[in-house]
Amino acid sequence: MAEARATIPDFELRREVDMSEVVALRERLGETADQRPSVDDFIVKAVALALREFPRVNGSYRDGRFEGHSRVNVGIAVAAPDALLVPTIFDADRRSLAEIAATAQTLAARVRDGSITPAELGGATFTVSNLGMYGVDSFSAVIYPPQAAILTAGSLRPRPVVDPSGDLVARPTIVLTLACDHRILYGAEAARFLTWLAELLERPRALLG
């Protein structure tokens, strides 16, 4: 963390995302599936697909140069007693939503009971962190070197939104914050990635494939 703050020229982008369709889809899946995916699981799946479309966001800055990765491995920040650990969901872009949900649940349990292994804590090419369960609307996170970026999610709650007809309505939304290493990413590309991610979450049926 000290290395990241001292050496990474970072910038941040924020976007509020309408999660109405994710909430509705979760309810439907809860009626038919053994395990209902969490909001985090939807975010991880959407991130993985977006990283496949924007490979530079999935890259690293190492030894003064950009390094690309052929695999999309998403780290998920999990709070442990007196620590924050980031286990990895490997090849997240190739996993189904149900597989991501099951893997994330297993990894989180292993972090909390202390049985997580070093191999499960390494190899991430991108990280997702969520503090929404604590009522935090949005927050900034430290990039994990040598990753290019980290995404944070705040609380999912009703917020005022202007619908297409111009009426003010309450919709469940979430604020996503993308922190980027400016040595790898520029604002326009990072913005396109965040826009693509938001569109996936606002039309989440594509995440079921």
Task: List pLDDT tens digits, range 128-142.
Answer: 999 999 999 999 999
Measured CA to CA, the distance from residue 44 to residue 33 in angstroms comes to 19
Q: Which pLDDT does position 64 carry in this prediction? A: 86
Backbone φ, ψ for residue 49 (5° rounding): -70, -40
Per residue in 106-119, pLDDT (tens digit) is: 999 999 999 999 99
Give mean pLDDT, residues 52-56.
96
Q: Where are the domains of the chain?
A: 2-199
* Number of residues written out for the chain: 209
pLDDT value of position 33 = 64
Question: Which distant-in-sequence residues (6+ apart) come within 8 Å of 104 by Cβ?
Answer: 38, 40, 41, 44, 76, 89
pLDDT at 2: 85
Place 209 in a pLDDT band, splitting at 50, 70 and 90: low
Q: Return the pLDDT at 110.
A: 95
Which residue from 4, 42, 1 is spatially nearest to 20, judged by alpha carbons? 42
Structurally, at CATH architecture level, domain 2-199 sits in 2-Layer Sandwich (3.30)
**Active-site amino acid positions:** 182
pLDDT at 17 over 80: yes
